[in-house]
Amino acid sequence: MDQSSYTSLRDAIDWHSVSFGYRTVELFKTAELTQAQQGYSVGPGGVSLVGDEEGDWQESWLVIGDEDLAGDPIFVDLAEEELPVYTARHGEGAWEPLLIAESFIKFFAGLALMREISEGRQNPMELAEKPLSERDVEAMIGLIATQNSKADMEFWRSWLVGE
């Protein structure tokens, strides 16, 4: 799959972020994608930061967004047909991707669920006034996991419980 395939999917979405409690996940607009690669696949002066070794940023990874709590990138792997979605800890020395959705479409579905449950919980004060029960958290994780059996649910769980 190439970047134009991703941009076609992304352009069909008319919203750009989801805020819940302490965290906001932003999806970059397609016009922002080139700039979003700075510090990941492209360094100062346009030098490539891509490598072939384990822990290197890979040529096929495209940063599509981030989460604001830790500033970690959210990226798709263009080498995979389904465009799986990953995150990785920023500033750890080596990139260790964590699969958070088996495809961009499934990631979007997870974000849409988060958007629904975020009504009245978009910041820490609102969440304190209208907290999620443990049962609600587990139900949300279950819904997301149903579509993403291979993905690590820690990304979603930490977002839901405010870690």
| Residue-wise pLDDT tens digits, 69-115 | 888 999 999 999 999 999 998 666 789 999 999 999 999 999 999 99
Phi, psi angles (nearest 5°) of residue 75 = -145, 155
Give the model confidence (pLDDT) of 133-158 as tens digits.
Answer: 999 999 999 999 999 999 999 999 99
Q: What is the mean pLDDT of residues 13-23?
A: 95
Q: What is the mean pLDDT of residues 62-73?
A: 94
Which residue spans within the chain are E strands per DSSP? 17-20, 23-27, 61-67, 73-77, 85-87, 98-101
- Which residues have CB under 8 Å from 55's CB, separation 6+? 93, 94, 95, 96
Residue 23 clears pLDDT 80, i.e. is over it: yes
User: pLDDT value at position 13?
Assistant: 93
Prediction pTM value: 0.93
- β-partners of residue 101 are 85
Q: What is the mean pLDDT of residues 12-37?
A: 96
User: pLDDT value at position 128?
Assistant: 94
